[in-house]
């Protein structure tokens, strides 16, 4: 008799996230763990990343091969191609990498050249995520980007010539952004031909330059109702152009172009997080651990010299795990099996809440599998809170 699939862990995906924290400039909206790259010698960080991959090997000996590797940041397109290749090779030695695995590199348009793209492909990269953010020059200046719209278009064209699997990031719902302007910008982005788009509403976080401007009253976020209208418009345009949403903020031209690495997050899989400030989730002996590497590069480089403890991070309680599975599992359109939440927490979702949300048109339900409607996506956090144990 076939054993039941565990409610979380590598049966739902296994990936490796590598955080490169350096950028040529810090964008005013960015609240990630990033640092200005000013003539740095990166030998110490590169060595630490290699060591960190290797020290996870014994702890995760029973895990399957990696289905995805993701170089994020920061700006990992600033890394030397040889260092990227070395990390992929080390990951393959430590865990194995599946044939056909998705290996993504985040890249800024300013770093794109045919030579760089060819070098990344030779290093083992299979997918490039381009941080275009806007195709409007005024918006790019507002967002603090180091490229203009012409450079962004050239970068997309060059990348797609070498990587069929290319994703483009855009930020919308900017303060005062006209509807017609976003329609034009999104249509232009779709015309570039990338099979995947990540479309994010601008978030103004407290500790960022934008956050400080907002505190002083110099920057007023777009009202929620206007953001909701733009979100609905975005769904209509993308569906009509053959890139429907498969997750709240992500659109793909088909199954082959969905982000396999992100699906590991949303499905409750395991991922190793290496690099300064990187987060991970690891499942060992039926327990789930949240890992978090030291944020400062020097502290990280020192920390990885020690072996991993048998408990590699903070043990999550059954309630924490169940709530996280629900919150992430509701994001993709494939739906979430509530029995997985119950198996972890011992508590089923409230039947009255399920009925209420379905009747309100916020939730689709097929047995124990639930998914958000388009209207429900706008209220994902509230719906999660309503259903969580």
Domains and CATH numbers, the chain: 10-264 (3.20.20.70), 317-389 (1.10.10.920)
CA-CA distances (angstroms) from residue 272 to 95, 206, 215, 279?
A: 11, 28, 36, 8
Across residues 168-181, what is the average pLDDT?
98
- Per residue in 159-183, is it b (16+ CB within 10 Å) or e — as a string? bbebbebbbbbbbbbbeebeeeebe
Are 94 and 54 in contact, with CB atoms under 8 Å apart?
Answer: yes
Cα separation, 62 vs 32, whole angstroms: 32
Cα separation, 201 vs 342, whole angstroms: 32
pTM here is 0.97
Q: Is the pLDDT of residue 105 over 70?
A: yes
**Each residue of 304-354: pLDDT tens digit?**
999 999 999 999 999 999 999 999 999 999 999 999 999 999 999 999 999
Q: Name the band, by pLDDT with cuts 50, 70 and 90, for residue 197.
A: very high
What is the model's pLDDT at position 3?
58
């Amino acid at each position: 008799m076939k054993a039941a699939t565990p409610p979380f862990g590598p049966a739902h995906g296994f990936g490796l996230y590598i955080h490169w924290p350096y950028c040529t400039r810090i964008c005013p909206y960015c609240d990630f763990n990033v640092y200005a790259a000013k003539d740095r010698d990166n030998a110490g960080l590169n060595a630490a990343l290699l060591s960190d991959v290797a020290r996870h090997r014994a702890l995760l000996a029973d895990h399957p091969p990696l289905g995805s590797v993701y170089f994020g940041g920061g700006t990992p397109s600033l890394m030397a191609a040889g260092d990227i290749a070395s990390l992929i090779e080390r990951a393959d030695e430590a865990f194995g990498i599946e044939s056909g695995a998705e290996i993504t590199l985040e890249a800024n348009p300013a770093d794109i050249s045919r030579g760089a793209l060819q070098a990344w492909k030779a290093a083992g990269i299979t997918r490039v995520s381009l941080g275009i953010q806007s195709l409007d020059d005024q918006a790019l200046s507002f967002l603090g980007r180091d490229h203009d719209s012409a450079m962004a278009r050239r970068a997309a064209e060059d990348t797609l010539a070498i990587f069929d699997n290319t994703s483009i990031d855009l930020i919308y719902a900017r303060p005062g952004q006209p509807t017609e302007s976003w329609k034009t910008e999104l249509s232009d982005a779709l015309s570039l031909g990338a099979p995947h788009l990540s479309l994010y509403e601008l978030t103004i976080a407290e500790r960022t330059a934008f956050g400080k401007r907002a505190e002083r009253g110099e920057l007023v976020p777009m009202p929620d109702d206007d953001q909701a209208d733009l979100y609905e418009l975005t769904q209509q345009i993308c569906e009509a152009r053959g890139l429907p949403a498969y997750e709240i903020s992500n659109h793909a031209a088909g199954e082959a172009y969905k982000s396999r690495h992100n699906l590991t997050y949303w499905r409750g899989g395991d991922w190793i997080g290496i690099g300064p400030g990187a987060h991970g989730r690891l499942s060992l002996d039926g327990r789930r651990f949240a890992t978090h590497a030291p944020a400062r590069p020097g502290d990280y480089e020192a920390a990885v010299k020690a072996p991993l403890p048998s408990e590699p991070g903070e043990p999550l309680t059954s309630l924490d795990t169940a709530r996280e599975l629900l919150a992430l599992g509701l994001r993709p359109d494939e739906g979430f099996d509530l029995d997985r939440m119950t198996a972890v927490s011992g508590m089923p979702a409230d039947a009255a809440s399920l009925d209420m949300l379905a009747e309100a048109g916020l939730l689709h339900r097929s047995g124990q599998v639930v998914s958000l409607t388009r209207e429900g996506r706008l209220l994902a956090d509230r719906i999660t809170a309503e259903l969580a144990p």
